[in-house]
């Protein structure tokens, strides 16, 4: 049995040559947040709210940016799904930052992460063979759903535990998105070099 070849980064999605930019920015946002949660020994509830809110808000904005870079805004329904996921994360981030507290973080952040992860998982499953990001969306969706499912169980353990759970998921997804972004960048450079020759 032969597996189908992976789609070429320059033809799988309109605008895919620039798709590596939001993917790498998303990776950087996740890794910075993850590193913050590792090294911040005693965060307050307000600090947890602002840090977690900024992470969710920035991830939502980057998702919306990736819709534009991928050329989804005029094309397939994937753009609407990603835009909705980005909007949910942006709103969730604002709510978590403005209403700090363990219960709020454990429920609202979990809800936002879960909805966005479910959207990515759906896009990954339906986009297999058509999108260069399908496998990454599946992995990111599974990681996000796992993080969202775990967060409510840590609401009573305080900000450090909640940030640790969210940061752990962020580190794993950040590494995933960094690899995806670097691969897309390499493919885009290779395709532009071939076009010149």
Contact 70, 13 (CB under 8 A): yes
φ and ψ at residue 129, rounded to 5 degrees: 85, -10
Statement: residue 32 has pLDDT above 90:
yes
Q: How far is CA 161 from CA 119, 146, 156, 171, 186, in A?
A: 26, 15, 9, 15, 37
pLDDT for 25 equals 93
pLDDT for 178 equals 95
Compute CA 131 distance to the chain's CA centroid, rounded to the nearest angstrom. 16
Within 13 Å and on the Cβ side, how many CA atoms surround 28?
Answer: 9
Average pLDDT, integer, range 112-130 = 90
Show the DSSP H helices in the chain as ranges: 9-12, 20-39, 45-70, 78-98, 102-104, 110-126, 134-150, 159-196
Statement: residue 197 has pLDDT above 60:
no
Average pLDDT, integer, range 72-83 = 72
pLDDT for 185 equals 87
Distance in angstroms between the alpha carbons of the first and the last residue of the chain: 35
Distance CA 81, CA 120 (A): 8
What is the tens place of the pLDDT at every residue in 91-102? 999 999 999 889
pLDDT for 19 equals 81
Geometric angle at alpha carbon 194, from 192 and 197, rounded to 5°: 115
Q: Which is more confident, 68 or 44? A: 44
SS3 44: coil
Structure letter (DSSP) for residue 57: H
Average pLDDT score over the chain: 84
pLDDT for 10 equals 40
Poorest-pLDDT segment among 15-24, 33-42, 95-104, 172-181: 15-24
Identify the band that residue 111 occupies on the pLDDT scale cut at 50, 70 and 90: very high
Statement: residue 13 has pLDDT above 60:
no
Average pLDDT, integer, range 139-153 = 95
Q: Which is more confident, 75 or 189? A: 189
pLDDT for 75 equals 55
pLDDT for 82 equals 87
Rg (CA), the chain: 17
């Amino acid at each position: 049995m032969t597996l189908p070849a992976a789609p070429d980064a320059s033809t799988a999605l309109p605008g895919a040559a620039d798709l590596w930019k939001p993917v790498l920015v998303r990776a950087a946002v996740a890794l910075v947040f993850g590193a913050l949660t590792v090294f911040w020994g005693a965060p307050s509830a307000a600090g947890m709210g602002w840090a977690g809110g900024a992470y969710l808000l920035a991830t939502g904005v980057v998702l919306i940016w990736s819709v534009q870079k991928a050329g989804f805004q005029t094309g397939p329904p994937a753009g609407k799904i990603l835009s909705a996921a980005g909007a949910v994360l942006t709103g969730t981030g604002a709510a978590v930052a403005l209403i700090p507290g363990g219960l709020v973080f454990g429920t609202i952040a979990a809800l936002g992460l879960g909805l966005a992860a479910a959207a990515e998982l759906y896009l990954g499953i339906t986009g297999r063979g058509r999108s260069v990001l399908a496998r990454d969306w599946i992995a990111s969706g599974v990681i996000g759903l796992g993080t969202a499912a775990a967060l409510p169980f840590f609401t009573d353990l305080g900000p450090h535990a909640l940030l640790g759970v969210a940061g752990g998921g962020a580190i794993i997804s950040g590494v995933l998105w960094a690899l995806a972004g670097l691969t897309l960048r390499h493919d885009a450079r290779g395709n532009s070099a071939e076009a010149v020759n």
